Amino acid sequence: MNPSPALNEAKAEEAIHFLNELLQLLPGGVNSPVRALSGLERRPLLIESASQDRVTDLSGRSYIDLCCSWGALILGHANPRVLEALASQLPKGTSYGITSRLEGEIARQVVALMPSIELVRFVSSGSEATMSAARLARGFTGREVIVKFNGNYHGHADLFLVQAGSGLETFGLSSSAGVPQGTVEKTLSLPYNDLGAIRRLFADPNLSHTIAAVIVEPVSGNMGVVPPEPGFLELLRSETERTGALLIFDEVITGFRVSKGGAQELYGIKPDLSCIGKIVAGGLPAAAFGGRREIMSYLAPLGPVYQAGTLSGNPLAMCAGLATLQAIQEEGFYAELERKCHLLLDPVEEAIFNSPLPIALQRVGSMFTLFFGRQSVRNLSEARECDPVLFKRFFGSLLDRGIYLPPSPFESSFISSAHSDNHLTEASEAICAAIHSLG
């Protein structure tokens, strides 16, 4: 329930004061850059609370949330099962720094849901998972080159912060100040969905035998939703296998999102290593990486590759994750999510059809993106051709109508099981109206 207008005004004033103070305390007023809403000519949201499919800001205004903590909250905010699990764990302690029963219970679920994972290591963030998986791949293969794809994001570890490239000549150019050239000189970033570039890379015997791993978002979520073209993941699998490199699926977003067993189940490809995050921790700070026993056994304490963490396997994160993984395995969970997606997006497809503007709606399961200015997007270059001004207007128009989208054209929106039909209909109407007003 929104407070009265007078109360709202006072709270809005207070929120602005608080934001000004935050700007003096946190760089850009935020703890992660995209939250600053840079370039969108809006103030960053300051959230007071959240429940089910809504977030409420300090001024008392509620928004239907289509960001869902960047995909972590597949059950929505403050899910009762997750809260109950947390409440029963809290009096038992918040961190042990010693292995707990919960770590075994959640590991059992993960290996059952993703059979390519035989051994799993829990960490505290997706960045930590991908960074550790890359180190493990290098340690296991004795090779150093890591291949990634333009527009895929694997967290902020130095070795992944390279500029988008078109081929071998673009090896290892760092994309962030503070990343030493030496750290990225063994990282190569290629165009997503470009089968020719992959064939050329692996056809070079001098180079192909230096590749420790290819890491890929099997459905890209970080240039907006870009699905893999037929043959892309298959080629990565066959070429890495042929040349002795490892294939790492970064399923930090797609794991338990695009299907119960992630993108690897959806597309029927078995990676050597997988990184999972977000959903696996039910909205708490944890993630994991895992894969073939032979590879994972290279990890300390079994093997020579070092990796560790004070809060790894944190009991609160483990029990929130466990409650979430149990919920997604209930009969009909994904079918119901799919129904909700149709409720939200079928009318949007029609609005796009009737719009004079080229707009692409790309969706895999309950993750989707609207691209303004193109009929389809297959890679980062095409995503960058989209019109940022149209996105800014679209985002602002939805915000004004009480709908919160991820605040960047290069992100995925998410639907949770907590989105009510009423709110999805409301959001759908708002999206259609916004599309109409752009045209």
Q: Which residues are catalytic?
A: 153, 250, 278
Query: Residues near 189 by Cβ (< 8 Å), separated by ≥ 6?
Result: 147, 148, 149, 150, 162, 163, 164, 165, 170
Residues 262-301 vs ligand PLP: string with x where CB under 6 A? ---------------x---------x--------------
Phi, psi of 241 (to 5 degrees): -65, -45
Tell me which residue has its CB nearest to ligand PLP: 126
Which of 44, 221 has the CB closer to ligand PLP?
A: 221
Which of 40, 131 has the CB closer to ligand PLP?
A: 131
Q: Report the amino acid identity of residue 83.
A: L
According to CB under 6 A, which residues from 403 to 422 bind ligand PLP?
none
Residues 44-83 vs ligand PLP: string with x where CB under 6 A? --------------------------x-------------
Among candidate residues 164, 160, 167, 134, the one with its CA nearest the CA of residue 245: 134
Write down the least CB distance from residue 152 to ligand PLP, Å: 7
One of 76, 139, 165, 221 touching ligand PLP (CB under 6 A): 221
Which of 86, 129 has the CB closer to ligand PLP?
A: 129
Residue 253 within binding range of ligand PLP, rule CB under 6 A:
yes
Which of 257, 378 has the CB closer to ligand PLP?
A: 257
Residue 127 within binding range of ligand PLP, rule CB under 6 A:
yes
Quick one: which segment of 45-53, 101-109, 149-157, 420-428 binds ligand PLP (CB under 6 A)? 149-157
Which of 216, 434 has the CB closer to ligand PLP?
A: 216
Tokens encoding 122: 């829990």
Tokens encoding 415: 């639907």
Bridge partners of residue 363, in order along the sequence: 368
Residue 132 within binding range of ligand PLP, rule CB under 6 A:
no
Distance CA 408, CA 40 (A): 8
Tokens encoding 74: 């597949």
Tokens encoding 35: 């939250």
Residues 163-202 vs ligand PLP: string with x where CB under 6 A? ----------------------------------------
Quick one: which segment of 112-120, 124-132, 138-146, 199-207 binds ligand PLP (CB under 6 A)? 124-132
Write down the least CB distance from residue 130 to ligand PLP, Å: 5
Quick one: which segment of 38-46, 53-61, 121-129, 428-436 binds ligand PLP (CB under 6 A)? 121-129
Quick one: which segment of 109-117, 123-131, 259-267, 343-351 binds ligand PLP (CB under 6 A)? 123-131
One of 140, 153, 202, 410 touching ligand PLP (CB under 6 A): 153
Which of 59, 222 has the CB closer to ligand PLP?
A: 222
One of 58, 85, 236, 252 touching ligand PLP (CB under 6 A): 252
Among candidate residues 248, 257, 2, the one with its CA nearest the CA of residue 133: 248
Q: Quick check: 372 and 438 in contact, CB under 8 A?
A: yes
* Binding positions for ligand PLP, rule: CB under 6 A: 70, 125-127, 130, 153-155, 217, 221-222, 250, 252-253, 277, 287
